Structure 1
């Protein structure tokens, strides 16, 4: 397998740093060191500096997380398997000592009121995830609006549980969120 390009190393290092410590706490020199790339290569590959890197990180991480969760959803039935999905997310977070969660969430929380360009990028990722989740719920025979509502409940519960798990250093919020989402799905199907 070929070595990752300097550009890819910069993006990978930035994404990891953002997951661990957030965007404001991550400096370009730190990115350069973590990527094992000369400092000048950052501006060579990303003439817009940190904002340009962040746009690319949001896009790449959005695809990466979307594919990761999509692969897990393929093996889970939405009427019964949601707690398992959330428990897996909790175990993964715990295995990383609660240091790495969703970088998109972290960035969105930091920039939603201060950087419109990055807010829009994060919103596009979240919207693509919501669309994917709504499609996953579609075989339950619900309306498009109900599938979108359940997708929103699911993503909101997952992202909120990440925040609580990291803060409390416990998987309990993730487990509770999974059961809560499952109950909402079963109630929606029961109402049809």
Structure 2
């Protein structure tokens, strides 16, 4: 089951994703992690804020890998985007709409109240934009077009997660995916890549 620190990080990531930062208590985290309460402060002397910052940075970078896992291997950009949005819909349905994006969940809560965590979420979103831009450039889009598409995909996914969780329906993900695909086709045509 991993060492105590890894268990605390994994439990925190899941709880933050499902309940948000303020909706997750330290006792709940150590209980989920099967860890002694004192171990939390041993590994995270800064308490919940330090723990949350590490969770945001580590799990955020795991999510960045989805560009390379879901989109990059696709035969073309449109197929990659369709597969990514379809995979997100499957995850939401399989988790009864509980598992969306842990970064966005926390970012919405802390953007105006906690600058340490706001910076951590900003750094993660920045890394996602860089990763997505590089992935889309490999399909023949210009760097500017790739960056614009990446930002559109991220904002579409995040917004669709909010609506889908609230409505308990994946229709918003399907619509967001269609919009991302339409934008990708338009940018590909403009850049002459056609892929």
Q: Is the 8 A contact 1:161 1:174 kept in 2?
A: yes
Q: Is the 8 A contact 1:79 1:182 kept in 2?
A: yes
Report the equivalent of 2:186: 187
Which stretch shifts more, 44-53 or 142-151? 142-151
Q: Is the 8 A contact 1:78 1:136 kept in 2?
A: no
Report the equivalent of 2:173: 174
- Relative to structure 1, is the Cα distance of residues 30 and 137 closer, same or farther in structure 2, using a 3 angstrom cutoff? same
CA shift at 1:92, angstroms? 1.1
In 2: Cα distance, 1:110 partner to 1:116 partner? 11
Is 2:11 the counterpart of 1:4? no
In 2: Cα distance, 1:115 partner to 1:67 partner? 26
Is 2:5 the counterpart of 1:29? no
In 1: Cα distance, 2:29 partner to 2:45 partner? 15
TM-score (structure 1 length as normaliser): 0.94
Report the equivalent of 1:19: 17
- What value does the CA root-mean-square deviation take over the aligned residues? 1.3
CA shift at 1:52, angstroms? 0.5
Q: 1:41-190 alignment to 2 at 5 Å?
A: 41-76=39-74, 77-190=76-189
Equivalent residue pairs, number: 190
In 2: Cα distance, 1:59 partner to 1:26 partner? 18
CA shift at 1:175, angstroms? 0.7
